[in-house]
Amino acid sequence: MALVTAGRRFVQVTLREFSRRSTAAASWGAWRTAERCFSAGTPPLRSDNKVTVNFINRDGEKITVKASPGDSLLDVVINEDLDFDGFGACEGTLACSTCHLIFDEDVYKKLGPVTDEEMDMLDLAYGLTETSRLGCQICLTKSLDGMVARVPESVADIRQSKDGSA
């Protein structure tokens, strides 16, 4: 009887420890995903710690917004409710090229390396240039303050029919 009781306690403790470790691992994974733009040791953001981003939309209109360092350019477009047709169709999962943006060369050099996955998606983008990137992969830093991002004239959005209607 004592052996059965000891066995039950061992199983309960083991399951509790497994649950605690699984929860911690899941929390860590979610944190890493949500914080993909931050490096370790990034100080907490303050409201005065904003980055100015200038978008040039398809009509040539300049739209200036302020955003927090660490936000992706896709986050900025969504959070500021900017009306760029078809922009960000895959919601940042790197499964489309609808958040394709074009940068001036000096800004492009500050954006960091392009991954193979991003290059694969850029190959599908209309109006691809040497300084094209996907907005979902560009995370704002203070060094990008005042940057200009151009929205290409057209977008490769599978959700649109051949005549351009949704």
Separation CA 19–CA 33 (nearest Å): 21
For residues 73 and 51, is the Cβ–Cβ distance under 8 A? no
pLDDT at 125: 92
Domain-located, residue 96: yes
Contacts of 58 (CB under 8 A, 6+ apart): 84, 85, 151, 152, 153, 154
Which amino acid is present at 89?
A
Domain range for 105: 51-150
The count of structural domains within the chain is 1
Q: What is the pLDDT of residues 23-38, one digit of tens each?
A: 444 333 333 334 445 4
Q: Look up the pTM and report it.
A: 0.67
Reported confidence tier of residue 1, pLDDT bands at 50, 70, 90: low
Q: What is the pLDDT of residues 74-99, one digit of tens each?
A: 999 999 999 998 899 999 999 999 99
Domain-located, residue 32: no
- 101 phi and psi, to 5 degrees? -130, 155
For residues 89 and 114, is the Cβ–Cβ distance under 8 A? no
Closest C-alpha among 84, 46, 50 to residue 65: 50
- How does strand 147-150 pair with strand 100-103? antiparallel
Structure tokens at 112: 């960091």
Domain-located, residue 106: yes
Separation CA 145–CA 131 (nearest Å): 18
Q: What is the mean pLDDT of the chain?
A: 78
Q: What share of the chain in percent tops pLDDT 90?
A: 60
Instruction: Please say if the pLDDT value at position 133 is more than 80.
Output: yes
Looking at residue 76, which CATH number applies to its domain?
Answer: 3.10.20.30
Domain-located, residue 2: no
How are strands ordered across the β-sheet holding 132-134? 62-67, 51-56, 147-150, 100-103, 132-134
Closest C-alpha among 94, 51, 60, 52 to residue 74: 94
Domain-located, residue 41: no
Domain-located, residue 134: yes
Domain-located, residue 143: yes
Reported confidence tier of residue 156, pLDDT bands at 50, 70, 90: low
Domain-located, residue 126: yes
